[in-house]
Chains A and B, each alone.
Chain A
Amino acid sequence: DVKVTQSSRYLVKRTGEKVFLECVQDMDHENMFWYRQDPGLGLRLIYFSYDVKMKEKGDIPEGYSVSREKKERFSLILESASTNQTSMYLCASSFRVVLVLGTDTQYFGPGTRLTVL
């Protein structure tokens, strides 16, 4: 079974703090993703990585950065947390090279509910 884990289920931070959200997958997936989920807005892609040290901006990268030093780990960094970054953050991973259609399915972690006060 695919397992994607996230470092915290709940996190409370103060405005201006630097925040690290960690994600680890054990399926040797090349692709890893960070999304945020807000009521009425659905899931929105923040950043994507298709290989170690490689990253691409998603739809809403402003205020975020990422780090991928190892294949299994993908970190989301909030350099200076703000209240509008209070949200549910979801990490996902998938294969990049597929031999069977559909096996690029993205598998998600349990999510981190971040509150910025």
Chain B
Amino acid sequence: AQKITQTQPGMFVQEKEAVTLDCTYDTSDPSYGLFWYKQPSSGEMIFLIYQGSYDQQNATEGRYSLNFQKARKSANLVISASQLGDSAMYFCAMREGNSGGSNYKLTFGKGTLLTVNP
């Protein structure tokens, strides 16, 4: 079974509108971290936002927020006020176990290609 599932291969959004990119995960570990990365066509993976399994509040970073629903095992990325520069591939990733130490491995989803239309 896939540990990270991104069900939307591609998404389209109009400039200035909000968009939600879906991510569901599968783990039996009570301690885990969830990450979102953006990959523009240039190829670099850019870290966007982090959510820990014990965090009480949804993470926010500027126009990015994470809709964390622990019981449903979902960690959707919400981008508000989309910009043309947001067009990119977006990856959800999970680290199982406690932060640091030997629990280093990230498992990535297959990604969602977001296109922002003017």
**Interface, chain A (partner B; CB < 8 A):** 9, 31, 33, 40-43, 45, 48, 50, 58, 88, 90, 92, 94-98, 101-111, 113
Contacts and interface: CB of A to CB of B under 8 A. Distances in A.
Interface stretch (B10-18, B19-27, B44-52, B76-84): B44-52
B42 A110 contact: yes
A101 B43 CA distance: 27
Nearest to B55: A101
Contacts of B42: 110
Interface of B: 33, 35, 37, 42-47, 50, 52, 54-55, 91, 95, 99-102, 104-106, 108-111
B44 A111 contact: yes
Contacts of A9: 43
Contacts of B105: 45, 48, 58
Contact of B106 (A95, A97, A102, A106): A106
A90 B45 contact: yes
A104 B94 CA distance: 12
Contacts of B33: 101-102, 104
A92 B60 CA distance: 23
Given A42-B110, A105-B50, A50 B102 contact: yes
Nearest to B100: A98
B45 A96 contact: no
B101 A92 contact: no
B104 A110 contact: no
Contacts of A102: 33, 50, 52, 99
Nearest to B110: A42
A25 B12 CA distance: 35
A104 B44 contact: no
A115 to B, nearest CB: 14
A95 B100 contact: yes
Given A88-B43, A105-B35, A110-B43, A42 B99 contact: no
B18 to A, nearest CB: 24
Nearest to B54: A101
